[in-house]
Amino acid sequence: MLTSVDTDLIRVLADPLRLRIVTLLAREALCTTHLVEETGAKQTNLSNHMKVLREARLVDTEPCGRFTYYKLRPDVIAKLAGQFAELAESARYAADNKRACP
């Protein structure tokens, strides 16, 4: 059975900087300083994007002294990927289905 695709999560990932952050975090946990260096974003802008990613439950935080490390939550990405896989599977079968015109 086809489940609905998480449009809120897609909206979060549609931002180019947030998608870049997610891509970086897929390789390793990074702190804000690393993310500023890697993306070239201003620290305040980056913090705002990290808040959005946290609220979407895409990342977890881990305090480390005076720094906060961010880790990607692979389960959330896997769930979204599964939703797209279901959509693709449904489309395979839908190609042969045609609704009759009135």
Q: Which domains does the chain have, with CATH numbers?
A: 7-94 (1.10.10.10)
Mean pLDDT computed over 3-8? 76
How much is the pLDDT for 75? Answer: 95
Q: What is the pTM of this model?
A: 0.84
For 8-22, what is each residue's pLDDT tens digit? 899 999 999 999 999
Helices (H) and strands (E) in the chain, counts: 5, 3
Q: Residue by residue, what is the 3-state secondary structure of 39-79?
A: HCCCHHHHHHHHHHHHHCCCEEEEEECCEEEEEECHHHHHH
What amino acid is encoded at 42 in this protein? K
Residues 6+ apart with CB under 8 A from 98: none
For 9-56, what is each residue's pLDDT tens digit? 999 999 999 999 999 999 999 999 999 999 999 999 999 999 999 999
Closest CA to 6 of 61, 72, 73, 78: 78
- Give the model's confidence band at 6: pLDDT under 50 very low, under 70 low, under 90 confident, else very high: confident
